[in-house]
Structure 1
Amino acid sequence: MYAQKATIQNEAGFHIRPAQLFSEKAVQFQSTILLKPEGTTTTADAKSILNLMTLGLEKGAVVLIEADGPDEQEAVAQLAALIESGFGEA
């Protein structure tokens, strides 16, 4: 298992577009990937837009990206970079 923290950067938080981009990136990997907001026990399947949307993440929220599988490090690195980039939103 490999994990890394990331902070939601975009103003609107983790709304439908970021959730879609995140899940589309996550399904490219074989590993099982979970997203966990810091300070909670809640987890979401990173490959499910609906699961991601239920987290209600806002700007500044810190999340833990966990992956377990053959490409876990690459998956975590790319997903963390996507979050830190603000999903391309200005």
Structure 2
Amino acid sequence: MAQRRITVQSEVGLHARPAALFVEAATKGGSEVTVAKGDGAPVSAKSILAVMGLDVRKGDEIVITAEGEDAEALLDRLAEIADAG
């Protein structure tokens, strides 16, 4: 299992377009992926409603966890999306 802690830099956080890109990337990977806001409960990173329900804003810390063969590459991509600002 691989994990990353990221401080979101996107001006809109993980809402609207960034959330859609995040979920799309998570869905394409073969790994099981979850995301949590701070120390909160993790949700599926493959669900747009779950990701948007976290209400992640600029400056919030998220924890992304992936398990599978492509976990590290997938975490790199998801971190890139969350950091885009």
Percent same amino acid among aligned pairs? Answer: 35
User: RMSD across aligned C-alpha pairs, in angstroms?
Assistant: 1.1
Matched residue type, 2:8: I
Q: SS of the residue aligned with 1:27?
A: helix
Distance 1:3 1:20 in 2: 21
Runs ≥4 residues deviating over 4 A: none
8 Å CA contact retained: 2:13, 2:82: no
Partner of 1:68: 67
Partner of 1:33: 33
Residues 1-90 of structure 1 aligned to structure 2 (within 5 Å): 1-40=1-40, 42-86=41-85
Matched residue type, 1:79: L
Q: How far apart are residue 6 of structure 1 and its match? A: 1.1
Q: How many residues align?
A: 85
Q: How far apart are residue 12 of structure 1 and its match? A: 2.0
Q: How far apart are residue 52 of structure 1 and its match? A: 0.3
Q: How far apart are residue 39 of structure 1 and its match? A: 2.8
8 Å CA contact retained: 2:14, 2:82: no
Matched residue type, 1:84: D
Q: How far apart are residue 81 of structure 1 and its match? A: 1.4
Distance 1:28 1:52 in 2: 16
**TM-score calculated relative to the size of structure 1:** 0.87
Matched residue type, 1:69: G
Q: How far apart are residue 28 of structure 1 and its match? A: 1.2
